[in-house]
Structure 1
């Protein structure tokens, strides 16, 4: 409990105004203590948010991987690849592996885990979407989506405030991103995949193309995501996502002859 503001407020107030001054000082000190506690809580949450994002990501990944009945070699490869991309070593890698294994457990309470994550994340949309996209990547690591995997992804999406249609749109965009990578990501890549990655169609106007590009780049800007709670180890993932968006936009611009 914070009492120093009250103590000094009362003491100073009493010196200048006796009892009345002391009471006024006590009240002002109370306001100071309250504000100080709020600020401390915000800072504490900010420090914990990155650790929670880190652990929740790998725990839920383990849960998603187990959804189809068993964790496959491909599931483990995706988790390992993610750890490699984040350059996790030593204790940090052990923590990620521990969280992944906890998520695989039959008694893992994914809803409780996600509720805590959403609260600590303070509803930051870009952060929640980045988290959901990582889980989508896990589920689609074998290029197929098992009905049980889709059901769990829907649970995750809804717990984070996303509808079924929003989840399906993200699934479509991720599949397009997978195809985009497989095609090399350049001008030889299917133009339809480039449009899908941007969440657009070939009938979209140039203005809609620009608007969607700016929105997606804003949502996936690495520095912005880290400031909102994305662990710095995961910045590389955000950078790659932003690069894919940029490449898809360049592909569409070239096809349309846009400046």
Structure 2
């Protein structure tokens, strides 16, 4: 408890606003948790020099900026809230962490949220890690697309964030195209999972296995799988690329999004599942291209 109080106090003094206090509060929470976890002074000092503080900054900034992006077009829609909640669920957050994430999200959508200061603070810790910065931007793109529409105000905000982190307008455009393709992969996967669950329930309740198999065919026949064009877009390449260039793009993306590597660089471990899903989508896209190009 002491760490939370001290952290909130010094966080407020540092940034002169409630955002600083909340960041300090979260850092203090991590400190208190470390003190409980380690019994001696040496281990506490080890925590102070570890990546936990960086992970706290990444965690808090991610959810607060998500709230700000959701508010960019004027109103936070139910779809924005649902995306944030699904993101928290996918991360497997504890009740305490969910409460912290929701508080950060609420702070981000509040009037006068200091977005530039927040991104500058993020940049101080992660500015030299382009893969982590890109991962962060992709999460914000996902938030903007919660309602399947990228509003002009949302785009302008994303562009400002990207530029502040050293990305060009062209690079942001490519990330948006890649996310649109990845979204089609994820929607297809969700549809498959939902229809398979329905099939399993009907199969369990059905007295005839033949009718169950027929029902499964009816459930899956009209599902549109991602196209080869979607696969190329997800990998950020064109259909004119050589096999060698395709393999290089695939390996680069897999390396950039490798969960263990990202966590080692400062990504909160709770976000590892998000990175895993992305590598699965990259792998799926690559397999589609391999099949189409026969290599």
> What residue in structure 2 maps to residue 249 of structure 1?
286
Return the offset for 1:227: 0.3
RMSD, aligned CA:
1.9
Name which one, 1 or 2, has greater alpha-carbon Rg.
1
For residues 133-188 of structure 1, give each alpha carbon's deviation from its aligned partner in whole angstroms, at most 9, with x where no partner exists: 00000001111100000000001101111110000000000001112233449994
Structure 2 unaligned segments of length 5 or more: list them.
Answer: 1-44, 193-223
Distance 1:119 1:80 in 2: 28
For residues 41-93 of structure 1, give each alpha carbon's deviation from its aligned partner in whole angstroms, at most 9, with x where no partner exists: 99636221101100000000000000010101000000000110111122111
Does the 8 A contact of 1:60 with 1:135 survive in 2?
yes
Does the 8 A contact of 2:127 with 2:165 survive in 1?
no
Which of 75, 82, 87 lines up with 2:87 in the alignment? 82
Distance 1:60 1:108 in 2: 9
What is the TM-score normalised by the length of structure 1? 0.81
Between Structure 1 and Structure 2, how many residues are aligned?
Answer: 219
| CA 256–68 in structure 1, closer or farther in 2 if over 3 Å, else same | same
Distance 1:129 1:93 in 2: 24
> What residue in structure 1 maps to residue 261 of structure 2?
224
> What residue in structure 2 maps to residue 207 of structure 1?
244
User: Does residue 198 of the first structure (1) align with residue 235 of the second (2)?
Assistant: yes
What is the TM-score normalised by the length of structure 2? 0.71
Does the 8 A contact of 1:86 with 1:234 survive in 2?
yes
Distance 2:131 2:151 in 1: 26
Does the 8 A contact of 1:45 with 1:120 survive in 2?
no
Distance 1:43 1:210 in 2: 41
Which of 164, 167, 173 lines up with 1:168 in the alignment? 173
Structure 1 unaligned segments of length 5 or more: list them.
Answer: 1-39
3-state SS of 1:107 partner: coil
Does the 8 A contact of 2:93 with 2:270 survive in 1?
yes
User: Does residue 120 of the first structure (1) align with residue 125 of the second (2)?
Assistant: yes
